[in-house]
Amino acid sequence: MLETLSLASHGPVIPVIVIQRLEDAVPLAEALVAGGVRVLEVTLRTPVALQAMEVMAKVPGAIVGAGTLRTPTDVTNARNAGCQFGVSPGYTDALAEACKTTGLPLLPGVSTASEVMTANAAGFSFLKLFPAVAVGGVNLLKSLAGPFPDVAFCPTGGISLETAPQFLKLPNVKVCGGSWLTPQDAVDAKGWARITQLAAEAAALRA
H/E stretch holding 178: strand 176-178
Give catalytic residue positions.
Answer: 41, 128
* CA 28 to chain centroid: 16
DSSP-based three-state secondary structure for 14: strand
Q: Name 146's bridge partners.
A: none
H/E stretch holding 120: helix 113-121
What span, in angstroms and rounded, lies between the C-alpha atoms of 63 and 41? 9
What span, in angstroms and rounded, lies between the C-alpha atoms of 184 and 33? 18
DSSP-based three-state secondary structure for 65: strand
